[in-house]
Structure 1
Amino acid sequence: METRVDHLVIGGGIIGLSAAWNLARRGQQVLLLERFEPGHSRGASHGATRNMNNAYTEDYYLDLYDEALQLWRELERESGEQLLTLCGLVSQGDPGVISEAHAALTARGAAAELLCAEEAASRWPGMKFEGTVLLNRDAGRIHSATALEVFAALARAHGADIRFGQRVTDLRVTEHGTEVTAVDDSGSPTVFNAASVIVAAGAWSEQLLRGLVELPPLQVTEEHPAHFQIRPQMIEPGGEAWWPSFNRFVPGKEDPQDGAVYGMLTPGEGVKVGFHKVGDEVNPDARRFRGSDLSREALRSYVAEWFPGLDPDTAAEISCTYTSTADGRFVLDRIGAVTVAAGFSGHGFKFAPATGRILADAAMGISFPPDPFRLAAH
């Protein structure tokens, strides 16, 4: 059986769903194919919370953040769901990063300020601080599981066809656009012909684009943050809600993001704490879904040292994938009929509404993505 569509999106994580929403609300005919079930745990978009983090030094990320923040609020108005809790973000660690991020944020009028470690500790006694601390009030956390549901519901409300349980087995470029073959859960294949295809397949991007698009090296790793329970004496009188989101950039590293610590409150589950981009390289179809004993102990020890308000022996481990470029910059580009969205390097979720707009513009031939993300820049 063959089906013809204008735009086909491969991948139903946050990026693919955002692209589908952005296309559908412009009146475009959109079909999205996702290999797994809604909210599945095999990729990078599952779980209840993500950091809404604007501690960046680069204008292209801060521009993307500002646009995404506006679009998150638009999604909240359209859906009636709360998607953001701007409880603040506190960042510490590498003094150069803290200073540069503060300068970049204040230059654009963001609600950012610097605190000494003693003041930060008095505000957030469940956390330990050293050196200068950056507080961003226009930041916090995203209700990520709800966000996936909202994107899917609103894309469908605008006419998008979203199909789960459809594994893409072949992608070809033809003289009329593209030809995509997908197999459903029963093993039945369907061939789709589309004028344009957006590939937002996360850890499976290289498999799908091999021979079509020359991607930069992408490293797929399995990461294992965990939720830790708040000590009872830290819950009253403010309950859980006083916990901000947080970063700690590693001083002395060429890339202070490598091994950085991040996290946020997940209401009802505890405080999520994780190391950034330290996991083992994996085949996304052959994962352990479990951290090594060494990595588990490293995270436990970190929590014991830096979070006096958390019980380090209560870890509830999470497993997710990162698909990372060497410099952490995303890959967003259009090559003929194929638009690529890959290499989000563990920090793409918060930008999703704006990234989806960029992908829709590219797929429709309106404009190319910003230069720092295009293939030639990698």
Structure 2
Amino acid sequence: MNKYLVFLASVSMLVIPHVGSGVASAADSGKGARFPAEWKKLPALDPDYEVVQLTTDDALDNKMYLDVDPYVPSLDSVVFMSERDKGHENLYLMSLDNGKFVQLTDSDHIDGDHANVSPETEQAFFVDDHTFTSVSLQAPYREKQIYTVPDKYDVKGIVALSADGKTIASSLYDEDEDRSSLVLIDVKTGELTTVKKLDGEVDHVVINPVNGDTLLYHMPDVEQIGLVDIESGKNTMLTGPEDHGVHPFWESNGRDAAFAQRKTDDTPEQVVTYNIRKKEFLSYDILDYSNHFAMNDSRTIIEGDGQKDDAPYIYYYYIKPNKNKVDAVKMFKHNSTSKTESVHPHAAFINDTDVIFNSDAGHEGKGDVYLLREK
């Protein structure tokens, strides 16, 4: 049964407080502005599923970067980014009960593509003009400035969060030194701790979702994937110079790090997992190419996004029980051009069966947010 149906009865009076019921509020934009549903239902290729196009505005709308799950069960709602406010990236909260949504932030300098969501604390986190900031998902949507990054650093990747929403993990890149600092920031106090400094650019770092004791990261210049133990600072490379590792993510059990490994010689595209306790690798051959991947909580489905000119599909790669083999099923033809990172599908599971993703189906670089869900 869909997770948001389970919560529906108990939270129907709580979803997006004070959202109006027909038209946008008197102010067309700004913090607290409310909007009616824009939903449009589309058929999926699997008859047991359907697709809901959550946004239809002419401006760019998107679900944030690859491994950000924007779903908040207690509110039965998702957070998304939109440029509908005069072309500025701001965050919005949409009810999956009725599609109505509210504007959470009002800024000219938010990096909305790389924001993140803490279901545990009911907050969204983002970088606003070099300052890590949080906003409550409950009215009146109060914001808190957490830590301002010195100008010499570029903040890379998403605002990664611990499971309890109390710690931010990030990569701060010093271009002049060509060096990255992997850091933790205490959300309550704003205290920053440097875990590890690495030569070169780290463009993406994610923290272990269960134990919060390990950082998984990607180095784009050499296409390498690594792990850093937070307590000891020990660095372990999961790929070698001959590999091509990209798009790291954690499995829900917290024991397995995962990433995509591109096709080399006779080795096909793969999703590779690494058990950080047993120090063992497992790989799944992906014969139907995808650019990005995600995995559901029960670790029975790997999602892929196609990303070839002749195969712009959302795929479900069903993992065969007790085997490192998958069955590929086309779920929806998303038709995204992936013209920019903002319109990459960047799908994420919001429960064990359903994924939220982006598509630029109109081929104009102005994406929308979609939900593939079980009927």
Greater RCO structure (CA 8 Å; 6+ sep): 1
Q: Same fold (TM over 0.5)?
A: no
Comparing both structures, which one devotes a greater share of its residues to helix? Answer: 1
Comparing both structures, which one devotes a greater share of its residues to strand? Answer: 2
TM-score bucket (shorter structure): under 0.3
